[in-house]
Amino acid sequence: MRIVAQRAASGSVSWEEAGARKVATIGPGLVLLVGAGPDDDETIVRRMADKLIDLRVFADDAGRMNLSLIDVKGEALIVSQFTLFADMSRGRRPSLLGAGDPKRAQELYEAFVARFRERGIRAQTGSFGAVMRVSIENDGPVTLVLSSDDWPTRV
């Protein structure tokens, strides 16, 4: 999995569905752009979700990044983004062949969202596979990139 996590004062995503405009919004929390790769599974999904939920990236009273999403009662805007697996090593057009199978990627994405909700986080989403507009009011800015490829073991 590859995830771009941004601490946000607010965020929103909008898309067209059945001729109507849909919008999902959050207040303070994390905006997460999430891509699933061909080797990802439910174990990876759970580890990545738990890592982000417990990550201390919010300021305490002393101004130090010492509080988690749970501590601040933050929200999460979770947006699918298969382009995180783009290969740009050749030519001028990114190759998207490195992304996971769309059906399996959707299952993993939905499991990722479900884990946030299981842990008590208000999680909003866009529509998997749709063309969306994402707005992020960055806080900091604090932007982190997580990749399961970088983890020492895939337990």
pLDDT tens, position by position, 95-124 = 888 888 999 999 999 999 999 999 999 999
In sequence order, what are the beta bridge partners of 21?
16
| Active-site amino acid positions | 81-83
In sequence order, what are the beta bridge partners of 122?
75
Task: Give 29-56 pLDDT, tens digit per residue.
Answer: 999 999 999 999 999 999 999 999 999 9
- Tell whether the model's pLDDT for residue 155 goes beyond 70: no
Task: Give 52-77 pLDDT, tens digit per residue.
Answer: 999 999 999 999 999 999 999 999 99
In sequence order, what are the beta bridge partners of 102?
none
> What structural domains does the chain harbor?
2-150 (3.50.80.10)
Average pLDDT over the chain, rounded to an integer? 94
